[in-house]
Structure 1
Amino acid sequence: MNTSPFTPRGLDAHAVTISRVADNQWHAVENDLVVGRGHASRRLDGRTFVSIDTWRGDVFDQLAAAMLTDQPLYTVVDENDRDVMAGWERAGLTTSRREYEFVVPTDQPATPAPSGVVITAADEEPLRLLDKAIRAEVEAGAGWQTMPAEVLPWQGGTRPLDPSKYTVAIRDGRYVGLVRVATRTRRPRIGLVAVLAAEQHHGIGRALLTHVLRGLHDSGFEAVTAEVDESNKPALALFESLGAQRTGTTLELVSRPEEV
């Protein structure tokens, strides 16, 4: 366990001690009371995300200083949470991406699929081929920073896929587009809408999305949630054309080791 003291000013002030109580956890202790906690978690894409829980700015600063390393660290913050934003900015973190949160009504008129395209449930093996192809296109193009946080770079090997979460578009026997939906939440969540580059700008994404929304509406859901990177103009235009209402903005911040 590593500890470091911080003594605030004032005759009646108690020393704050920062202790690393586990590989990924820190405690700030003052007068035998825990007054702040820090946590780090390494995601499958290799990035480490950090968070701090305290109501005091001085404790936040001490925890951040203890947690930051010579490697880039990331955190996710609600743009309206000014206090937390200010704390991470004092620690030297800067915005690396901005993601808009939407609520999308499910009562949508169905958009016919383009000629020759069929929309249906997914099977695992052709879904896996489409998943790899889309990932390769994103990696070679816009980059993973524009993708939803849960969409991780390809790690090799066999990544688990649950076909029941996907609806796909098929042309000439080949999967060309997909929508993934998570339903184990208060509102279903659109996790990903993606179409192969060669098949884009023909209405496949819209047909897929309205098909899924209509199905959720028939199942009793009035709305779903979705997140879209601010740089993804086509996706923003698609969701806004469906009457999506922006409900919040999430920022992903990153530490630059040379600035820490």
Structure 2
Amino acid sequence: MNTLPYTPHGPGAEAVTISRVADNQWHAVENDLVVGRGHASRRLDGRTFVSIDTWRDAIFDQLAAAMLADQSELLYTVVDENDRDLRAGWERAGFATSRREYEFVVPTDLPVGPIPPDVVIAGADEGPLRLLDKAIRAEVEAAVGWQTMPAEVLPWQGGTRPMNASKYTVAIHDGRYVGMVRVATRTRRPRIGLVAVLVDEQWHGIGRALLTHVLQGLHSAGFEAVTAEVDESNKAALGLFESLGARRTGTTLELVSREV
């Protein structure tokens, strides 16, 4: 356990001790009471995301300083753009915005878009789905970088991590998987986790046909709307969702710490 005493200024002020109580947890203790908590979580892509829970700015700053001092890598955090106090706290600690993601609510009561000739929309099998996933990841990484994809989309695991094919709907052209939609349903409202089409198959309406097919299926299952997140730099995805009547409901910022 590492401890860092902090004595605030002013008469009658009580000392606050910042302690690292586990590999990924920090506590701020005052008068034997925990008055703030910090947490770090390492994601599958290797990045570490941090969060702090306290209502006092001075304790937030002390926790952030202790967490940064204990780490030898860049740290990330996610905040609602409208949460100015939380954003200001991380900025005081030296964090800066690295990306902005728009949140949407998408209606499901939509007509299915026209399916391009020789394209079939179907459920997925893991073998060809894995090949498509690998190819799309390579294209995204070579262009804008996989870090621009929605946060819940898992990073590539080198083909070793099982894929739940039941969560995917795919577009098949001439026997080859060329596009996919991933849906997460273990939430109050289903979430569109990914819409992707191979570069050489784009601009033919495949993405729209895939998405409207999935939305109609969710509507038939009793869901009136789904959620989705789109990076602000992904103009094609923004245009697709907005053309389907998606309503923007918020903006999330990903912040990254200064170089260490």
Instruction: For residue 58 of structure 1, give the secondary structure of its aligned residue in structure 2.
Output: helix
User: Cα distance, 1:11 vs. partner?
Assistant: 1.4
Q: 2:25 & 2:55 partners in 1: Cα distance?
A: 17
The list of structure 1 runs, each at least 4 consecutive aligned residues, that deviate by more than 3 angstroms after superposition, is none
User: Cα distance, 1:156 vs. partner?
Assistant: 1.7
Contact 1:70 1:257 in 2 (8 A): no
Residue segments in structure 1 that go unaligned for 5+ positions in a row: none
Superposition map of 1:74-93 within 5 A: 74-93=76-95
**2:139 aligned partner:** 137
User: Cα distance, 1:13 vs. partner?
Assistant: 0.6
User: Which residue, 181, 204, 207 being the options, matches 1:205?
Assistant: 207
Q: In the alignment, does 2:43 pair up with 1:43?
A: yes
Q: 1:21 & 1:160 partners in 2: Cα distance?
A: 34
**1:233 aligned partner:** 235
User: Cα distance, 1:44 vs. partner?
Assistant: 0.9
Q: Which moved more, 1:245-254 or 1:62-71?
A: 62-71
Q: 1:45 & 1:185 partners in 2: Cα distance?
A: 23
Q: In the alignment, does 2:11 pair up with 1:5?
A: no
Q: In the alignment, does 2:26 pair up with 1:16?
A: no
Counterpart AA for 2:232: E
**1:63 aligned partner:** 63
User: Cα distance, 1:70 vs. partner?
Assistant: 3.7
Residue segments in structure 2 that go unaligned for 5+ positions in a row: none
User: Cα distance, 1:155 vs. partner?
Assistant: 3.1
Given the superposition, is the C-alpha separation of residues 56 and 189 from structure 1 closer, same or farther in structure 2, using an over 3 Å criterion? same
Q: 1:155 & 1:108 partners in 2: Cα distance?
A: 35
User: Cα distance, 1:26 vs. partner?
Assistant: 0.2
C-alpha distance after superposition, 1:188-211 (max 9, x if no partner): 100000000000010000000000
Contact 1:102 1:245 in 2 (8 A): yes
Contact 1:104 1:239 in 2 (8 A): yes
User: Cα distance, 1:213 vs. partner?
Assistant: 0.4
Q: 1:128 & 1:70 partners in 2: Cα distance?
A: 34
Q: 2:146 & 2:182 partners in 1: Cα distance?
A: 17
Superposition map of 1:95-174 within 5 A: 95-174=97-176
Q: 1:186 & 1:79 partners in 2: Cα distance?
A: 23
User: Which residue, 222, 245, 248 being the options, matches 2:247?
Assistant: 245
C-alpha distance after superposition, 1:109-148 (max 9, x if no partner): 1101100100011111111110111111111111012111
**2:223 aligned partner:** 221
User: Cα distance, 1:149 vs. partner?
Assistant: 1.1
Q: 1:33 & 1:254 partners in 2: Cα distance?
A: 30
Instruction: For residue 257 of structure 1, give the secondary structure of its aligned residue in structure 2.
Output: coil
Instruction: Give the fraction of aligned pairs with identical amino acids, expressed as a percent.
Output: 83
TM-score by length of 2: 0.97
User: Cα distance, 1:158 vs. partner?
Assistant: 1.5
Counterpart AA for 1:33: L
User: Cα distance, 1:153 vs. partner?
Assistant: 3.5
TM-score by length of 1: 0.97
Instruction: For residue 161 of structure 1, give the secondary structure of its aligned residue in structure 2.
Output: coil
User: Cα distance, 1:257 vs. partner?
Assistant: 1.9
